[in-house]
Protein backbone atom coordinates (compact mmCIF):
# COMPACT_ATOMS: atom_id res chain seq x y z
CA UNK A 1 0.00 0.00 0.00
CA UNK A 2 1.09 3.55 -0.61
CA UNK A 3 -0.33 7.01 -0.25
CA UNK A 4 -2.16 8.18 -3.35
CA UNK A 5 -1.09 11.39 -5.05
CA UNK A 6 -2.84 13.81 -7.37
CA UNK A 7 -1.16 11.94 -10.24
CA UNK A 8 -3.18 8.84 -9.29
CA UNK A 9 -6.53 10.64 -9.23
CA UNK A 10 -7.61 10.02 -12.83
CA UNK A 11 -6.89 6.29 -12.75
CA UNK A 12 -8.41 5.89 -9.29
CA UNK A 13 -11.59 7.71 -10.31
CA UNK A 14 -11.99 5.20 -13.16
CA UNK A 15 -11.44 2.24 -10.82
CA UNK A 16 -13.99 3.63 -8.35
CA UNK A 17 -16.54 4.17 -11.14
CA UNK A 18 -16.26 0.45 -11.95
CA UNK A 19 -16.26 -0.58 -8.28
CA UNK A 20 -19.43 1.40 -7.50
CA UNK A 21 -21.36 0.73 -10.71
CA UNK A 22 -23.67 -1.69 -8.86
CA UNK A 23 -23.73 0.17 -5.54
CA UNK A 24 -27.33 0.71 -4.34
CA UNK A 25 -26.80 4.42 -3.57
CA UNK A 26 -25.11 4.95 -6.92
CA UNK A 27 -28.00 3.27 -8.75
CA UNK A 28 -30.51 5.28 -6.70
CA UNK A 29 -28.76 8.58 -7.45
CA UNK A 30 -28.08 7.75 -11.12
CA UNK A 31 -30.65 5.24 -12.38
CA UNK A 32 -29.64 5.64 -16.05
CA UNK A 33 -26.99 2.92 -16.39
CA UNK A 34 -25.51 4.51 -19.53
CA UNK A 35 -24.94 7.90 -17.87
CA UNK A 36 -23.94 6.53 -14.45
CA UNK A 37 -20.20 6.12 -15.22
CA UNK A 38 -19.75 9.74 -16.33
CA UNK A 39 -21.74 11.08 -13.39
CA UNK A 40 -19.89 8.92 -10.88
CA UNK A 41 -16.59 10.02 -12.36
CA UNK A 42 -17.50 13.59 -11.40
CA UNK A 43 -18.26 12.45 -7.84
CA UNK A 44 -15.11 10.37 -7.33
CA UNK A 45 -12.88 12.98 -8.97
CA UNK A 46 -14.26 15.53 -6.51
CA UNK A 47 -13.67 13.30 -3.49
CA UNK A 48 -10.12 12.61 -4.63
CA UNK A 49 -9.41 16.28 -5.35
CA UNK A 50 -10.64 17.26 -1.88
CA UNK A 51 -9.15 14.44 0.19
CA UNK A 52 -5.87 13.27 -1.42
CA UNK A 53 -4.03 16.39 -0.13
CA UNK A 54 -4.73 15.25 3.46
CA UNK A 55 -2.41 12.27 2.85
CA UNK A 56 -4.93 9.75 4.13
CA UNK A 57 -5.80 8.10 0.80
CA UNK A 58 -4.19 4.75 0.07
CA UNK A 59 -3.90 2.74 -3.12
CA UNK A 60 -1.75 -0.05 -4.53
CA UNK A 61 1.09 0.32 -7.01
CA UNK A 62 -1.23 -1.16 -9.64
CA UNK A 63 -4.05 1.23 -8.61
CA UNK A 64 -6.44 -1.67 -8.00
CA UNK A 65 -8.56 0.40 -5.65
CA UNK A 66 -8.54 3.18 -3.11
CA UNK A 67 -9.35 3.86 0.51
CA UNK A 68 -10.18 7.57 0.78
CA UNK A 69 -10.19 8.78 4.37
CA UNK A 70 -11.12 12.23 5.65
CA UNK A 71 -9.44 13.62 8.76
CA UNK A 72 -11.59 14.61 11.75
CA UNK A 73 -11.90 18.24 10.66
CA UNK A 74 -12.58 17.63 6.94
CA UNK A 75 -15.31 15.01 6.57
CA UNK A 76 -17.95 17.47 5.29
CA UNK A 77 -18.06 17.88 1.52
CA UNK A 78 -16.63 21.32 0.67
CA UNK A 79 -19.05 23.73 -1.08
CA UNK A 80 -17.08 23.76 -4.34
CA UNK A 81 -17.10 19.98 -4.55
CA UNK A 82 -20.79 19.93 -3.70
CA UNK A 83 -21.57 22.39 -6.50
CA UNK A 84 -19.55 20.40 -9.06
CA UNK A 85 -21.28 17.20 -7.95
CA UNK A 86 -24.70 18.81 -8.17
CA UNK A 87 -24.07 19.26 -11.90
CA UNK A 88 -23.80 15.47 -12.27
CA UNK A 89 -27.39 14.98 -11.06
CA UNK A 90 -30.41 15.24 -13.27
CA UNK A 91 -32.81 18.07 -12.46
CA UNK A 92 -35.46 15.46 -11.70
CA UNK A 93 -33.28 13.39 -9.30
CA UNK A 94 -31.40 16.24 -7.62
CA UNK A 95 -34.00 17.15 -4.95
CA UNK A 96 -34.51 13.60 -3.66
CA UNK A 97 -30.79 12.77 -3.81
CA UNK A 98 -29.77 15.94 -1.99
CA UNK A 99 -32.52 15.44 0.60
CA UNK A 100 -31.57 11.81 1.21
CA UNK A 101 -27.83 12.33 1.35
CA UNK A 102 -28.35 15.40 3.51
CA UNK A 103 -30.15 13.22 6.05
CA UNK A 104 -27.22 10.80 6.07
CA UNK A 105 -24.82 13.69 6.55
CA UNK A 106 -26.91 15.09 9.42
CA UNK A 107 -26.59 11.69 11.13
CA UNK A 108 -22.79 11.85 10.79
CA UNK A 109 -21.19 11.71 14.26
CA UNK A 110 -19.80 14.96 15.62
CA UNK A 111 -17.24 13.28 17.88
CA UNK A 112 -13.78 13.57 16.21
CA UNK A 113 -13.07 10.54 14.00
CA UNK A 114 -11.40 9.41 10.81
CA UNK A 115 -14.06 9.04 8.11
CA UNK A 116 -13.79 6.34 5.47
CA UNK A 117 -15.43 8.37 2.72
CA UNK A 118 -14.82 5.79 -0.04
CA UNK A 119 -13.43 2.27 -0.23
CA UNK A 120 -13.52 0.69 -3.64
CA UNK A 121 -11.70 -2.13 -5.38
CA UNK A 122 -11.72 -2.89 -9.10
CA UNK A 123 -14.32 -5.63 -9.66
CA UNK A 124 -11.66 -7.93 -11.17
CA UNK A 125 -9.73 -7.78 -7.85
CA UNK A 126 -12.61 -7.97 -5.37
CA UNK A 127 -12.58 -10.87 -2.93
CA UNK A 128 -8.77 -11.13 -3.01
CA UNK A 129 -7.94 -9.14 0.14
CA UNK A 130 -7.23 -5.84 -1.62
CA UNK A 131 -9.93 -3.97 0.33
CA UNK A 132 -8.58 -5.23 3.65
CA UNK A 133 -5.08 -4.15 2.71
CA UNK A 134 -6.35 -0.74 1.55
CA UNK A 135 -8.11 0.13 4.80
CA UNK A 136 -5.35 -1.24 7.05
CA UNK A 137 -3.19 1.93 7.02
CA UNK A 138 -6.17 4.10 8.00
CA UNK A 139 -7.14 1.76 10.83
CA UNK A 140 -3.53 1.67 12.00
CA UNK A 141 -3.54 5.50 12.00
CA UNK A 142 -6.72 5.45 14.12
CA UNK A 143 -5.23 3.04 16.62
CA UNK A 144 -1.92 4.91 16.82
CA UNK A 145 -3.64 8.29 17.30
CA UNK A 146 -6.45 6.98 19.52
CA UNK A 147 -9.13 8.19 17.09
CA UNK A 148 -12.31 6.25 16.20
CA UNK A 149 -13.38 5.58 12.61
CA UNK A 150 -16.75 5.96 10.88
CA UNK A 151 -18.28 4.97 7.55
CA UNK A 152 -21.55 4.35 5.74
CA UNK A 153 -22.31 1.45 3.42
CA UNK A 154 -25.33 0.53 1.33
CA UNK A 155 -24.32 -3.06 0.58
CA UNK A 156 -25.37 -5.56 3.19
CA UNK A 157 -22.44 -7.86 2.34
CA UNK A 158 -20.08 -4.99 3.21
CA UNK A 159 -21.44 -4.88 6.77
CA UNK A 160 -19.82 -8.25 7.50
CA UNK A 161 -16.57 -7.12 5.86
CA UNK A 162 -16.40 -4.00 8.02
CA UNK A 163 -17.38 -5.93 11.15
CA UNK A 164 -14.32 -8.13 10.58
CA UNK A 165 -12.28 -4.93 10.81
CA UNK A 166 -13.79 -3.84 14.12
CA UNK A 167 -16.73 -1.69 12.97
CA UNK A 168 -20.25 -2.15 14.30
CA UNK A 169 -23.58 -0.86 13.01
CA UNK A 170 -24.81 2.13 14.98
CA UNK A 171 -27.87 2.90 12.89
CA UNK A 172 -29.75 1.91 9.76
CA UNK A 173 -31.32 4.57 7.56
CA UNK A 174 -33.37 4.30 4.40
CA UNK A 175 -32.92 6.85 1.64
CA UNK A 176 -36.19 8.32 0.29
CA UNK A 177 -37.59 5.79 -2.18
CA UNK A 178 -34.17 4.18 -2.06
CA UNK A 179 -31.86 1.69 -0.40
CA UNK A 180 -30.97 1.10 3.20
CA UNK A 181 -27.69 2.57 4.46
CA UNK A 182 -25.77 1.20 7.44
CA UNK A 183 -23.87 3.69 9.58
CA UNK A 184 -20.83 2.05 11.22
CA UNK A 185 -18.40 3.03 13.95
CA UNK A 186 -15.08 1.62 15.17
CA UNK A 187 -13.36 2.61 18.41
CA UNK A 188 -9.59 2.95 18.35
CA UNK A 189 -7.78 -0.07 19.72
Tell me the CATH number at 116. 3.40.630.30
Contacts for 97 with CB less than 8 Å, ≥ 6 apart: 28, 29, 89
pLDDT (tens digit per residue) in 147-188: 999 999 999 999 999 999 999 999 999 999 999 999 999 999
pLDDT (tens digit per residue) in 12-64: 999 999 999 999 999 999 999 999 999 999 999 999 999 999 999 999 999 99
How many Å apart are CA 43 and CA 41, to the nearest integer? 5
The total domain count for the chain is 1
Residue range of the domain that includes 162: 2-186
pLDDT (tens digit per residue) in 59-90: 999 999 999 999 998 888 777 777 677 667 77
Q: 3-state DSSP call for residue 35?
A: coil
Amino acid sequence: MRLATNDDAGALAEVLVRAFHDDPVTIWAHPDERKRPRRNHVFFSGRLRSLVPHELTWTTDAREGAAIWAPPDAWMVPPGELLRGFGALTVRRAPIVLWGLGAIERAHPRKPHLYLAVLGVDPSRQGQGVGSRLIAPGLEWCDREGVPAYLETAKERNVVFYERHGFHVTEERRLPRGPKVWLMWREAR
